[in-house]
Structure 1
Amino acid sequence: MRVTKAKVAEHRRSILDSASRLFRERGFRDVGVAEIMQASGLTHGAFYGHFRSKAELADAACQEACAEGAQRWLESASLPEILDRYLSPAHRDNPAAGCALAALGAEVARQPGEVQKSFAEGMGRFVDALERHMDEAPPEARRQQAMAVLSCMIGALTLARAVASGDPALSDAILAAAREQLRSHFGA
């Protein structure tokens, strides 16, 4: 039976959504193609009709997750809104639906060059989105400030996740401290 182009696109979208969620939740290494395909509701054999390898899927999933996240930031009303959502217990506790940069950053360094390139481009989209919310900063300083803010946000979220089970109060304190310091420093 022939599959329509629309159905092929729907299947690809399902694979990308499942892979993106599972990779952010558990990392590239701990998620297999068979699990992704099962989560997509498709057979393992159908994978190769869409992607040549798991690395190609990781690259595409990284691109998608970064594009979606950066778009949400562009649609946000303000930097304080971004900070409040990003540096929150809800975001910390749900990496599968959260920021790909924080969830996958440490692992990307061990991925093929294509994945690293896509990750860098995705990071650039997040920096661009933050820059647009920093209109009080001098234009020549915005990009540098946006990179510093993004780095602080990712670092705080990563540390908060790392200690969440061992010391929940410390985890909450990390998020609150980063959120308040960034709000204070950037007049947000």
Structure 2
Amino acid sequence: MKVSKAQVQANRAHIVQTASVLFRERGYDGVGIADLMAAAGFTHGGFYKHFASKAELLAEAATCGFAQGAARADEMDGLGFVKYYLSREHRDARGDGCTMAALSADAGRQPEQIKAAFASGLESMLATLASKAGEADSAESELRAQRIVVIAQVVGALMLSRACPDDSTLADEILEACCADVLTRLYSRTKPSSVS
């Protein structure tokens, strides 16, 4: 039975979505093609009907994850977004969480195609942060540098918190300290004690 073009596209999108979640949960090397296709409800042999290589899927899955993160950020104001990003809820939801925090270390060891997807995702995060701070998405060097520092801090904080044991006091301290610091810098009129 021949599958329609629309169904082929829907199947591919489902594979990409499944891969996006699995890669964030397990890392790029923690998911084989056979496991991925089984999780998506397809046979292993069907993979190459949709993708030329695993690298192609890695890049598309990263782009999918960044789009999901941007959609989530659009639903919140700046204060709410930072509080959510540096929360235990986000930390513990790897599969649904930030692609940058889940896979940056892995992406650094991948082909240029994946690195390009991460660079594009980072540019999107910078634009989101600018809009949440009420700034124009300008390339003004000082404002852009400040946004880069904030993103590096929140992504790094989430990564460090995840590296600690789940029930560790330190894991929570990292999130709380960085959240207070970021909110104080972004919203200079807000005192750290009122944003915790």
TM more than 0.5: yes
Matches of residues 32-181 of structure 1 in structure 2 within 5 Å? 32-73=32-73, 75-135=74-134, 140=140, 141-165=142-166, 168-181=168-181
What amino acid maps onto 1:135 in structure 2?
G
Q: Indicate the structure whose relative CO is greater, using CA pairs within 8 Å and at least 6 residues apart.
A: 1
Q: What is the deviation of 1:94?
A: 1.2
Q: Distance in 2 between matches of 1:135 and 1:22?
A: 34
Kept in 2, the 8 Å contact 1:22–1:96? The answer is yes
Runs of 4+ in 1 over 2 A off after TM superposition: 139-142
- Alpha-carbon displacement from aligned partner over 1:45-93 (angstroms, at most 9, x marks no partner): 11111101111110110111112212322x1342111111110101111
Q: Give the aligned length.
A: 186
Q: Distance in 2 between matches of 1:7 and 1:59?
A: 22
In the alignment, structure 1 segments of 5+ residues that lack a partner are none
Q: TM-score, normalised by structure 1?
A: 0.93
Q: TM-score, normalised by structure 2?
A: 0.89
- Alpha-carbon displacement from aligned partner over 1:153-182 (angstroms, at most 9, x marks no partner): 0010000000133x5211011101111111
2:13 matched to 1:21?
no
Q: Distance in 2 between matches of 1:136 and 1:40?
A: 40
- Alpha-carbon displacement from aligned partner over 1:79-117 (angstroms, at most 9, x marks no partner): 111111110101111111100000000111110111111
- Alpha-carbon displacement from aligned partner over 1:92-145 (angstroms, at most 9, x marks no partner): 1111110000000011111011111111111110111001112269x6333222
Partner of 2:5: 5
Partner of 1:186: 186
Kept in 2, the 8 Å contact 1:87–1:179? The answer is yes
User: Between the two proteins, what is the percent identity of the paired residues?
Assistant: 41
Q: Distance in 1 between matches of 2:19 and 2:84?
A: 23
> Secondary structure of 1:29's match?
helix
Kept in 2, the 8 Å contact 1:128–1:143? The answer is no
What is the RMSD of the two structures over their aligned residues, measured on CA atoms? 1.7
Q: Distance in 1 between matches of 2:28 and 2:55?
A: 9
Kept in 2, the 8 Å contact 1:37–1:44? The answer is yes
